Amino acid sequence: MMMRIISMRKRTRSISKRKKKHKLKTLSLGMEMTRGQKGNSGFRKLPEFTKLKFLTLQVLADQTASILCWTPLIYASPVLHKFKLQLQYVKPLGVEGKSRRKIPNRPHQCLKEVELAGFVGYFIDLELAHYFIKNAVMLEKITIESHSTRVLSRPRPWMFNETKEKQYAKEQAMQLQKILPAGVKMEII
């Protein structure tokens, strides 16, 4: 397990001891999740972010990671209106990604917009899309940007292929349209 946001975990614990509610309105976190990231137990007992309306996660991950470990942070934000994932995907050779987690049932009453940038159509982003479709009661729009997010300075043969991989991501996004609740718009870019 490799994560670069370990210091945030420590700060969150110290914050939760001082106050139960926070006035934060916008939060952007960056993290690296590789080599079978299974969960983040440091975020299971978060304080409630009663004013947080915009949350962005910038994630560098491989296909063995699961972003569902961050759903406690989303759930601790009861008035969250917009969630954005900016995924930078690293596809290691010979590693198959597969879903390991059951999608939690935690309804969000205020979440209206979800944006998944860097969508690749593998379990890492599909399970998160399913999470929002299942739990965002007031969801109005999902935007899926299936484009390459180059991580390394020079191209590698296992990186996002602009034609075949992008087409696969778009096909997977279109499959999500079949399970969208009535009235939810999906934009695939």
pLDDT band at 21 (very low <50, low <70, confident <90, very high): low
Range of the domain at 94: 22-188
* Residue 4 in domain: no
Answer yes or no: are the C-beta atoms of 126 and 168 closer than 8 Å: no
183 sits in the region (left: phi over 0; alpha: psi -120 to 50; else beta) called: left
Q: According to the model, what pLDDT value does residue 56 have? A: 95
* Residue 167 in domain: yes
Q: According to the model, what pLDDT value does residue 93 have? A: 45
Structure tokens at 184: 């939810």
The answer on pLDDT for 81 being more than 80 is yes
* Residue 1 in domain: no
Answer yes or no: are the C-beta atoms of 21 and 47 closer than 8 Å: yes
Q: According to the model, what pLDDT value does residue 139 have? A: 96
Average pLDDT over residues 1-18: 40
* Residue 83 in domain: yes
Q: What domain count does the chain have?
A: 1
Average pLDDT over residues 74-99: 78
pLDDT in tens, 151-181: 443 444 444 556 777 888 899 999 999 999 9
pLDDT band at 114 (very low <50, low <70, confident <90, very high): very high
**Those residues with Cβ within 8 angstroms of residue 13's Cβ, 6 or more apart along the chain or in another chain:** 42
* Residue 17 in domain: no
In 12-77, at which residue ranges do the beta strands (DSSP E only) sit?
A: 26-33, 54-62
Helices (H), the chain: 6-18, 71-75, 123-135, 164-177
* Residue 14 in domain: no
Average pLDDT over residues 108-129: 91
* Residue 109 in domain: yes
* Residue 11 in domain: no
Nearest to 166 by CA among 130, 121, 129, 124: 121
Q: Which residue has the higher pLDDT, 1 or 186?
A: 186
Task: Point out the least confidently predicted range of 56-60, 94-98, 103-107.
Answer: 94-98
Q: Say how far apart CA 25 and CA 15 lie, in whole Å.
A: 16
Q: Say how far apart CA 183 and CA 105 lie, in whole Å.
A: 21
pLDDT in tens, 37-53: 555 545 557 788 999 99
pLDDT band at 92 (very low <50, low <70, confident <90, very high): low
> β-strands 82-90, 113-117: how paired?
parallel
Record the pTM: 0.77
pLDDT band at 99 (very low <50, low <70, confident <90, very high): low
Q: According to the model, what pLDDT value does residue 36 have? A: 52
The full length of the chain comes to 189
Q: Which residue has the higher pLDDT, 31 or 10?
A: 31
